Amino acid sequence: MKHKNSSESDFPKLAAPAQRALAGAGIHRLDQLTRFSESEIKQLHGIGPNALNALGRALSAKGLSFRSEKRKR
């Protein structure tokens, strides 16, 4: 019997430091990433360019994206 766990990750395969960075920020699923901009995720210690690209592709595949960057002009 397969149990559906709400904290079950749907992230792509990521290096351990990236996994720890996301878990440490309380992010366990792709849909939670939509609350953060790409630059906010990039600031997490352990998130490098490869992890950021993989997350972006995984979000896109589900029709999701990082939150828009907030810029003051």
Per-residue pLDDT tens digits for 23-38:
999 999 999 999 999 9
Q: Which residues of the chain have pLDDT under 70?
A: 1-7, 71-73
Residues 6 or more apart from 56 whose CB is under 8 A from it? 38, 65, 66
* pLDDT for the residue numbered 70: 75
* pLDDT for the residue numbered 69: 85
Domain locations in the chain as residue ranges: 16-61
Which pair of tokens denotes residue 33? 């990433």
